[in-house]
Structure 1
Amino acid sequence: MITATDLELRAGARILLQPTSFRVQPGDRIGLVGRNGAGKTTTLKVLAGETLPHGGTLTAAGPIGYLPQDPRTGDLEQRAGDRVLSARGLDAILHELTAVGNRLAEEHTDDGLVRRYGQLEERFSSLGGYAAEAEAARICSHLGLPDRVLDQAVGTLSGGQRRRIELARILFADSAGEPTTLLLDEPTNHLDADSIGWLRDFLKGHRGGLIVISHDVDLLAAVVNKVWYLDANRSALDAYNVGWATYLKQREADERRRTRERANAERKIDSLKGQADKMRAKATKAKAAQQMLRRAEALNAGLAEVRAHDKVAKLRFPDPAPCGRTPLTAEGLSKSYGSLEVFSGVDLAIDRGTRVVVLGLNGAGKTTLLRLLAGTERSDTGSVVPGHGLRLGYYAQEHETLDTERTVLENMRSAAPDPADLQLRSVLGAFLFSGDDVQKPAGVLSGGEKTRLALAMLVTSAANVLLLDEPTNNLDPASREQVLDALRHYSGAIVLVTHDEGAVEALDPDKVILLPDGVEDTWSADLADLVVLA
């Protein structure tokens, strides 16, 4: 359980949340919603104890499981399966059990080793034993993490796989006994359709508290029994103790009510000011006129802000710089991590203006292929060959292209061929970064804000080949539509990795690359079903 008293949140000088009190109790399944940049991710970080609030107090009773947008996986050398088991301390016990068992096989008469083995078995059994280990494997399987992935070091996994390992770890800890308060920031990112369906059922049966940030409307409709709307214009948290469908109706009614209240108040303010102006000319009524003006000012100060139409980034990808007929080719690419071969023998040719979607099951190497093409990672064999006039723009799903130590404006300068600040500020303004926002370090931005900055960097790059890895993740519906519209109208070449069927439809691909085989083929609508499975 979490209790917040007069909680106040800020991002620099900007108030995200006015002092607010609330509780999260067992059985509460809360959807935290609001436009990108409203402060949803910051709120979850504060509730998880990752950062401190500007004001107020927080108390937590019982364990908390926090899934951030960016995976933090500790020891990169740790076996992925052990990372999941570590949620209950099983990994260390299993390792010692194995080590002591191996020594006993050689030293049968060592009474100290026998006692130690018995102690470890007892401790292992108290934590669920081999049944718990099987449960962890079952959770991982449902999240698209087969045994071969669990046997790899965490550092060899893709960003999506690392995030699913963290989600599996949290869910495994939650099923240990004491109800856990789950704080999940976009938990369906990197999950296929089957995994999302399983997660919905798991969360519906969760006995502890839950706050989830998600742009997956189907998940919210199926899981949440309360909705908290973080209103960026009013810096207020509106709590609706109803499910998703009822919330939508109540929210719309509230917006209509606020609009009417503001219109009525504005008419009253105008009337009071008009009366005061007439009365000020007469000395006998000057005091009454002042009272009317004070009343008008009080009404104006207390007028609740009615939400304007939420702004969205006005996104258009750049007019591509001139290039040759085939600006990018790859020959014989292969990549392995240790003994695990991701793919081999991949050949492709990206012609000017062609549109390619990359499909494959999770872990097939889609993100890895884009990293090789972008030059941020080296292939084991083969080569990437730039054609005449190639200018690459790379959008990385984990925002690796952002320098988190540099400001928003400094990141833009690094991407622009002509880094004139006035022009860059204009582009940033279109992406909702204005005033002091451009001086923020990129590391303090929310997931949605990082997405907007990375897309703004693409816009100013004049790229003629765009490599896009899940560009619609972490975006609210209005911003997502802007990205899809930009895909439709861009005239350069695009290589796209996505689980978003709408993104593939907007791309209208010419070709498909199927991994891990690396087969390049003509796109067919028959392949559309593979998008959500990929």
Structure 2
Amino acid sequence: MIATKDLEVRVGARTLLNAPGAHLRVQAGDRVGLVGRNGAGKTTTMRILAGETQPYGGSVTRTGEIGYLPQDSKEGNVEQTARERVLSARGLDEIGRAMSKQQDLMSNSEGDKLDKAIRKFSNLEERYQSLGGYEAESELSQICDNLGLEPRVLDQQLKTLSGGQRRRVELAQILFAASNGSGKSATTLLLDEPTNHLDADSITWLRGFLSKHEGGLIIISHDVDLLSDVCNKIWYLDAVRAEADVYNMGFQKYKDARALDETRRRRERANAEKKSAALHKQAAKLGAKATKAAAAKQMLARADRMMNQLDDVRVDDKVANISFPDPAPCGKTPMHAKGLTKMYGSLEVFAGVDLAIDKGSRVVVLGTNGAGKTTLLKLLAGVERTDGEGGIVSGHGLKVGYFAQEHDTIDGDKSVWRNTIEACPDANEQDLRSLLGAFMFQGDKLEQPAGTLSGGEKTRLALATLVSSRANVLLLDEPTNNLDPISREQVLDALKTYKGAVVLVTHDPGAVRALEPERVIIMPDGDEDLWNDEYMEIVELA
């Protein structure tokens, strides 16, 4: 169970949430959808509920086990294998290693040393059994398979995995800890965008798993179908009022109830404003006569009371004005990649990939998770170097803009403003301020540390720096991840009208449709083909 008391959430001087009393509470059987626009404080609130950071005011009480999946999962020992990472959820990885050590001693010892090794092994094995160790491999394999993690991936070190694979491993670890194979558990799950990097089959399986989860659940997701199928409660964070509205109903009923509620509030306010205007007009007439001054004052007080008693009408959410300017001039083929190869130790990700990016061309990179899509974009961006003798040939006027899937281009310790001016050192300061304002960064928001931004806000910040760069080749790695529906549409509209070249990696079919690609690169082989609608089926299933 998780319960808050007088919770207050702030970032810098900005108040994101005031929740007086025991306003927010989740217990066994509650499946809560935490919703609101990007920047409303969903991720920050989730971190506080998980105990990762402290609230500005109030307190959070937690009982029982907590399973927390942050939006950006980059922590942990990258030297361990994916299998060890998942098993660590129950401490089975350490016990397993200790058992293997005692087995080695048993094989190479005699007398007292052998007896001691046998006793230790027996004690460890008893603990291993009590934690379901011998059944664990089957449970682990089932969960990982449903999340699209192949058996070969489980024995690879985390540092060799793609961002999408790492994300799936972190989700598998949390679900493994909270599961006995049936999804039944008293663990409270806190999941921030759990469907990022999942294919359609994995998302379907996850919906079923979470719908059967008997512990508490709080989930942040822009997957409307997931919220509709899983949630029986909704917490709506209002960025304007810095308040949380609690709806004890499913997502679709919440949407209907909120729409009706807003219609009622607007109707009541319109009626009240009409009556208030009439009272003010009448008071003005009476106020001209000294004998009627008291009556006029009462009328004004009545008009004020009438307006003050109204429920607030929700202010329409601000929308980022995202658009890409005309790219800088360049030659016919601004970028040509030859023989790109990437190895992790003895593991070959891909080899000998060739790719010519012509002026204004549209290219989609497809492949399963771990096929090297993100790595290919990093090589094209110059963030990583190719192994072997291949490389990038820069054509006339090449200017690259790179959007990193994990927001690696953003320095979390620096402010929004500092990140922007360092990314665009040649830009005019006033132009940058205007640009950031169009992307909904202004006032105190400019001095906010970038590391405290939500995933959607980081996406907007990264896109803002791309816009100011006037790049003629955009390398976009999952640019619509973490965006609310309105911001996502803004990005897709900007993509439709951009005149430069684009190389796109995405699981979002809408992004592919907006791009209208001409070519497709299939990884890890690097095979190139003209785009046709059959490839859209692969995107929709990926």
Superposition TM-score tier, normalisation by shorter sequence: over 0.9
- In structure 2, distance between residues paired with 1:305 and 1:314: 26
Who is 1:510 aligned against? 518
One-letter code aligned to 1:122: E
DSSP 3-state at the match of 1:18: strand
- In structure 1, distance between residues paired with 2:308 and 2:479: 41
- In structure 2, distance between residues paired with 1:98 and 1:119: 13
One-letter code aligned to 1:131: E
- In structure 2, distance between residues paired with 1:91 and 1:267: 69
Who is 1:403 aligned against? 411
Q: 2:345 aligns with which of 338, 358, 361?
A: 338
One-letter code aligned to 1:56: G
Who is 2:144 aligned against? 140
What per-residue deviation string (whole Å, max 9, x for no partner) do you get for residues 397-447 of structure 1? 110001112211121112226322211111111111111111111111111
- In structure 1, distance between residues paired with 2:400 and 2:138: 45
Moved more, 246-255 or 504-513: 246-255
- In structure 2, distance between residues paired with 1:39 and 1:327: 41
In the alignment, is residue 26 of structure 1 matched against residue 28 of structure 2?
A: yes
Who is 2:206 aligned against? 199
One-letter code aligned to 1:304: D
One-letter code aligned to 2:394: P
- Cα–Cα, structure 1 residues 292 and 11, in superposed 2: closer, same or farther, change >3 Å? farther
One-letter code aligned to 1:18: N
Note if contact 1:329-1:384 (Cα within 8 Å) is conserved in structure 2.
yes
Who is 1:305 aligned against? 312
One-letter code aligned to 2:208: D
Who is 1:412 aligned against? 420
Note if contact 2:14-2:444 (Cα within 8 Å) is conserved in structure 1.
no
Indicate the RMSD between aligned Cα atoms, in angstroms.
1.5
Tell me the CA shift for residue 163 of structure 1: 1.5
What per-residue deviation string (whole Å, max 9, x for no partner) do you get for residues 446-481 of structure 1? 111111101111111100000000011111111111
Who is 2:463 aligned against? 455
1:173-188 correspondence to structure 2 within 5 Å: 173-176=177-180, 178-188=185-195
Q: 1:392 aligns with which of 391, 395, 400?
A: 400
DSSP 3-state at the match of 1:183: strand
In the alignment, is residue 358 of structure 1 matched against residue 365 of structure 2?
A: yes
- In structure 1, distance between residues paired with 2:127 and 2:439: 54
1:257-272 correspondence to structure 2 within 5 Å: 257-272=264-279
Who is 1:73 aligned against? 75
In the alignment, is residue 155 of structure 1 matched against residue 159 of structure 2?
A: yes
Note if contact 2:162-2:369 (Cα within 8 Å) is conserved in structure 1.
no
- In structure 2, distance between residues paired with 1:366 and 1:89: 33
One-letter code aligned to 1:158: S
- In structure 2, distance between residues paired with 1:266 and 1:9: 33
One-letter code aligned to 2:146: H
Tell me the CA shift for residue 294 of structure 1: 3.6
Tell me the CA shift for residue 301 of structure 1: 4.6
Note if contact 2:190-2:217 (Cα within 8 Å) is conserved in structure 1.
yes
DSSP 3-state at the match of 1:512: strand
Tell me the CA shift for residue 39 of structure 1: 1.0
In the alignment, is residue 368 of structure 1 matched against residue 370 of structure 2?
A: no
DSSP 3-state at the match of 2:237: strand
Who is 1:485 aligned against? 493
One-letter code aligned to 1:37: G
- In structure 1, distance between residues paired with 2:275 and 2:130: 70
Moved more, 9-18 or 435-444: 9-18
DSSP 3-state at the match of 2:203: helix
Who is 1:2 aligned against? 2
1:511-530 correspondence to structure 2 within 5 Å: 511-530=519-538
DSSP 3-state at the match of 2:325: coil
- Cα–Cα, structure 1 residues 303 and 416, in superposed 2: closer, same or farther, change >3 Å? farther
Tell me the CA shift for residue 302 of structure 1: 4.9
Tell me the CA shift for residue 274 of structure 1: 2.2
- Cα–Cα, structure 1 residues 9 and 296, in superposed 2: closer, same or farther, change >3 Å? farther
Who is 1:247 aligned against? 254
- In structure 2, distance between residues paired with 1:367 and 1:468: 9
What per-residue deviation string (whole Å, max 9, x for no partner) do you get for residues 481-526 of structure 1? 1111111111100000000111111111000000010111111111
Note if contact 1:318-1:461 (Cα within 8 Å) is conserved in structure 2.
no
What stretches of structure 1 of length at least 5 have no aligned partner? none
Note if contact 1:84-1:165 (Cα within 8 Å) is conserved in structure 2.
yes
Moved more, 39-48 or 155-164: 155-164
Note if contact 1:6-1:57 (Cα within 8 Å) is conserved in structure 2.
yes
Note if contact 2:480-2:508 (Cα within 8 Å) is conserved in structure 1.
yes
Note if contact 2:19-2:244 (Cα within 8 Å) is conserved in structure 1.
no
- In structure 1, distance between residues paired with 2:404 and 2:435: 20
What per-residue deviation string (whole Å, max 9, x for no partner) do you get for residues 117-155 of structure 1? 111111100100221122112211211112222222222
Who is 2:130 aligned against? 126
In the alignment, is residue 438 of structure 1 matched against residue 446 of structure 2?
A: yes
Who is 2:43 aligned against? 41
Moved more, 348-357 or 97-106: 97-106
What stretches of structure 2 of length at least 5 have no aligned partner? none
One-letter code aligned to 1:112: K
Q: 1:209 aligns with which of 216, 225, 229?
A: 216
- In structure 1, distance between residues paired with 2:24 and 2:516: 46
DSSP 3-state at the match of 2:24: strand
Tell me the CA shift for residue 300 of structure 1: 4.3
- Cα–Cα, structure 1 residues 272 and 17, in superposed 2: closer, same or farther, change >3 Å? farther
- In structure 1, distance between residues paired with 2:18 and 2:293: 38
In the alignment, is residue 425 of structure 1 matched against residue 433 of structure 2?
A: yes
- In structure 1, distance between residues paired with 2:358 and 2:127: 61
What per-residue deviation string (whole Å, max 9, x for no partner) do you get for residues 52-110 of structure 1? 11222211111111111110332121222111111100000001111111221122541
Tell me the CA shift for residue 229 of structure 1: 1.4
- In structure 2, distance between residues paired with 1:386 and 1:318: 22
Note if contact 1:97-1:117 (Cα within 8 Å) is conserved in structure 2.
yes
Who is 2:282 aligned against? 275
- Cα–Cα, structure 1 residues 15 and 332, in superposed 2: closer, same or farther, change >3 Å? same
- In structure 1, distance between residues paired with 2:190 and 2:298: 50
- In structure 1, distance between residues paired with 2:59 and 2:413: 30
Tell me the CA shift for residue 303 of structure 1: 4.2
Q: 2:175 aligns with which of 153, 167, 171?
A: 171
- Cα–Cα, structure 1 residues 178 and 530, in superposed 2: closer, same or farther, change >3 Å? closer
1:103-122 correspondence to structure 2 within 5 Å: 103-109=105-111, 110-122=114-126
